[in-house]
Amino acid sequence: MPRPLFRWFCGLLLLSQITLCHAEDAELARLFREAGASGTLLIEAAESGQRYVHNATRAAQPFTAASTFKVLNSLIGLQQGVVSGPEAVFRWDGTHYEMPDWNRDQTLASAFRLSCVWCYQQLARRVGAAVYPAYIREARFGQLREPFVVDQFWLDGSLTVSAEQQVAFLKRVALRELPYRTQSYAALESIMLAEQTPQYRLFAKTGWSARATPGTGWYMGYVKSERDTWLFALNIDTRSADDLPRRQSIVHAALMAKGILPSPSR
């Protein structure tokens, strides 16, 4: 094949691959319309690389990490030895919070499940500011603006991450490609487990940043089944806490629509 023609062919092939990777998924778009939500959802198979995306432009846009950082923060805390495992205890200092369930001692497992901010602020202070930049760069978890406040940076906008970056990070976590101990990964999966059936296990974390208007609601995680491991990351605009249930409902509907989770009729 003549070289100019070969280059044209390669360019056309690359363009078609890019278009396929970022093609709007009509089924996902319909779910967002029905929910009255503005945002993005990216779903990707870890092994085959098959992808479904709604709003690819937004999927590449960084937003405040909020509580989605608790996934990496838990791994860092476990790896550093500042928490020993799911039953590690955080002592409540008596401060009263708007979330009643936070107003008591917590374990790492309950802190993750309840998205307990003060617990992970304790963890962050134990880890120390000097430790975080290297871990975040290694995990390629978004962008960290320095200098930062050690117990605020994932809440105040210093740490931002896109849905694309969330999925890439989750793939490294699910496939255990980052250099953490086996015990650290096992503890993380123990606290991330949100649903389990004989057919699949779903590991997930919510997040909500409400310091700007609109706020940003996150839902990210992965599904392990016999067929593959499916990674997902959603973020949507939020006006109030009333919008938060849409995070899980859209993702669950999307995973069922794509046959990743069984539908109720199956």
Which pTM does this prediction carry? 0.90
H/E stretch holding 71 reads: helix 69-80
Predicted confidence at residue 1, as pLDDT, reads 53
DSSP 23: P
Predicted confidence at residue 257, as pLDDT, reads 97
User: How many angstroms from the chain centroid is the CA of residue 223?
Assistant: 12
How far apart CA 65 and CA 68 sit, in angstroms, is 6
Given CA atoms 165, 110, 242, 224 in this order, what sign does their dihedral have?
positive
Collapsing DSSP to helix, strand or coil, 29 comes out as: helix
Q: What is the pLDDT of residue 19?
A: 41
pLDDT of residue 212: 87
pLDDT of residue 114: 98
Distance, in Å, from the CA atom of 108 to the CA atom of 120, rounded to the nearest integer, reads 9
| Contact criterion met (CB below 8 Å) for 43 and 255 | yes
Please identify every residue annotated as catalytic: 67
Give domain limits for the chain.
23-257
79: Cβ–Cβ under 8 A, 6 or more apart, which residues? 180, 181, 184
CATH 3.40.710.10 fits 23-257, yes or no: yes
3-class DSSP assignment, residue 94:
coil
Between helix 69-80 and helix 163-174 the angle, nearest 10°, is 40
Q: What is the pLDDT along the chain (266 residues), one digit of tens a residue?
A: 555 554 554 454 444 444 445 689 999 999 999 999 999 999 999 999 999 999 999 999 999 999 999 999 999 999 999 999 999 999 999 999 999 999 999 999 999 999 999 999 999 999 999 999 999 999 999 999 999 999 999 999 999 999 999 999 999 999 999 999 999 999 999 999 999 999 999 999 999 999 989 999 999 999 999 889 999 999 999 999 999 999 999 999 999 999 999 987 55
Residue 196 token pair = 């389990």
